[in-house]
Amino acid sequence: MPRHLPALLDQIHTEAQALFGQGRVADYIPALGEVPPRQFGMAVALCNGETHAVGDAHTPFSLQSITKLFTFVLALKLVGDELWQRVGREPSGAAFNSIVQLETENGIPRNPFINAGALVITDILTTRYAHLDYALLGALRRLADDPELHWNARIAKSERDTAHRNMAMAYFMKSHGNFHNPPELVLDNYCRQCATEMSCSQLAQATMFLANKGRDQSLRGEPDEQFLSADDTRRVNALLLTCGAYDAAGDFAYRIGLPVKTGVGGGIVAIVPGVGTVAVWAPELDAKGNSVLGAFALERLVQLTGWGHNTL
């Protein structure tokens, strides 16, 4: 364990600021396009209970595709291996909102973390939960130890108003029999899900179970909860490593070597099994939809700590 982790975070914070201006915010969702770009936060939560934060680590931001990780886990807990009849486990090699592969692969998305796969996951959960937004928030509030977590109605509406491509995917998958609920209902749930807001500190805490063999450690002194089995935790982390950064997953695995999930809100969460979790946020994105400063910060962290060496 690095003795001077706070100093390393300060160093990374300083270095990362040189990259401001190299990306752009996700302005294809109008409400996200209004986010001030020059922000950076980073938080680390360790399995031994330590937490460290730097910069804008306590500023809430829109999780966007990072929520796909949590809905995937909920669906895996709910239906188990039946899930793999409707979604694959392979990297896509295509943009996160691509519709092309659905045409050639009979409406079966490549993995749960591209938009098409996440829509299928939301469809599964919509069948189970009459109010999926509250079910998801309940799980996130428990994992983050924060009863005040919420989704941003304004961002959800902005996303829903521009969700034409996602709606096309939903109807296309329905034509192949891989969508069971009305696409409009699923899209409503999906957009509310993506508009969930967290800070880096909250996100690091909420994903601790993935670093801790599926056990959720409470900050309030409550007993640990086995939120996910150890085997399923290992499988989730494997998919995050291979599919968690859109069509830049291979580059992230090469540069960082950790299971990650990114989002177009500028957030990235990384898992260091047996050690802890790292959440970074900087809203300027590269051409693949991943945070420029966030990716740099994670790469520097593994260089300075060696945390990526024992994950593969």
Annotated active-site residue 246? The verdict is yes
Determine the CATH number of domain 5-306: 3.40.710.10
Cα–Cα dist 40/54, whole Å = 9
Task: Write down the pTM of the prediction.
Answer: 0.95
How long, in residues, is the chain? 312
Instruction: Identify the active-site residue in 25, 199, 246, 261.
Output: 246
pLDDT of the residue at 144: 96
Output the CA angle 124-126-128, nearest 5 degrees.
Answer: 75
φ, ψ of residue 22 in degrees (nearest 5)? -90, -5
Tens-digit pLDDT profile for residues 155-198: 999 999 999 999 999 999 999 999 999 999 999 999 999 999 99
| pLDDT of 2 over the 70 cut | no
Concerning whether 158 is annotated as a catalytic residue, the answer is no
Query: Structural domain boundaries of the chain?
Result: 5-306
Q: Among 137, 125, 129, 138, which residue's Cα sits nearest to residue 76?
A: 125
Question: What is the pLDDT averaged over residues 297-309?
Answer: 91
Residue 98 pLDDT > 90: no
The percentage of residues in the chain with a pLDDT greater than 90, rounded to a whole number, is 88
Distance of alpha carbon 194 from alpha carbon 185, whole angstroms:
14
Give residue 219's pLDDT. Answer: 66
Helix (H) or strand (E) segment spanning residue 240 = helix 230-243
Q: Which residues contact 218 (CB under 8 A, 6 or more apart)?
A: 145, 224, 225
Q: Which long-range contacts (CB under 8 A, 24 or more apart) does 78-87 make?
A: 78/124, 78/125, 78/128, 79/124, 83/112, 83/121, 83/124, 86/120, 86/124, 86/178, 87/111, 87/112, 87/117, 87/120, 87/121
Q: Are 36 and 69 in contact (CB under 8 A)?
A: no
Read off φ and ψ for residue 276, nearest 5 degrees: 165, -160
Q: How far apart are CA 129 and CA 135, in angstroms?
A: 7
Is the confidence at residue 312, as pLDDT, over 50?
A: no
Binding residues for substrate, by number, are: 65, 115, 159, 166, 190, 246, 264
d(C-alpha 180, C-alpha 161), whole Å = 22
What's the rounded Cα separation, in Å, for the pair 124 and 269? Answer: 24
Q: Catalytic residue at 157?
A: no
Catalytic residue among 25, 54, 190, 201: 190
Do residues 236 and 169 touch, judged by C-beta distance below 8 A?
no
Pick out the residues of the known binding site: 65, 115, 159, 166, 190, 246, 264
Query: Could you say which of 25, 68, 73, 87 is catalytic?
Result: 68
Q: What is the pLDDT of residue 196?
A: 98
Q: From the candidates 62, 65, 199, 291, give the one annotated as an active-site residue.
A: 65
Give dist(CA 32, CA 59) in Å, integer: 15
Q: CA of 73: how far to CAs of 40, 57, 169, 254, 286, in Å?
A: 28, 25, 22, 25, 27
If pLDDT is split at 50, 70 and 90, which confidence band does 1 have? low
* pLDDT number for residue 309: 56
